[in-house]
Structure 1
Amino acid sequence: MIKVSVLYPNTDDLVFDKEYYINKHVALVSERLGDALKNAQVDFGIAGGTPDSKAAFVVMTHMTFDSLESFQESFGPHSDEILSDIANFTNCQPQLQISEIKI
Structure 2
Amino acid sequence: MKFRLILSFLLLASSFTAFSQERQKGNNSAVAEKGLIKVSVLYPFAEGKTFNMEYYETKHMPMVAGFLGSNLVKYTIEKGLASGVPNQPLPYMAIGIFYIKSLAEYQAAIAPNIAAIRADFANYTNVAPVILVSEVVR
Between the two structures, name the one with larger relative contact order (CA 8 Å, sep ≥ 6).
Answer: 1
Does the 8 A contact of 1:36 with 1:74 survive in 2? Answer: no
The Cα shift of 1:55 comes to 2.2
Structure 2: gaps (5+ residues): 1-35
Structure 1 CA distance, aligned partners of 2:86 and 2:121?
31
The Cα shift of 1:52 comes to 4.0
Match of 2:123 in 1: 88
Match of 1:15 in 2: 50
Aligned residues: 103
Q: TM-score, normalised by structure 2?
A: 0.70
Matches within 5 A, 1:1-103: 1-103=36-138
The Cα shift of 1:47 comes to 0.7
What is the DSSP-based 3-state SS (H/G/I as helix, E as strand, rest coil) of the residue aligned with 2:39? strand
The one-letter amino acid paired with 2:46 is: T
Q: Which has the larger strand fraction?
A: 1
Structure 1: gaps (5+ residues): none
Q: TM-score, normalised by structure 1?
A: 0.92
Note the aligned Cα RMSD (angstroms): 1.2
Moved over 3 A (4+): none
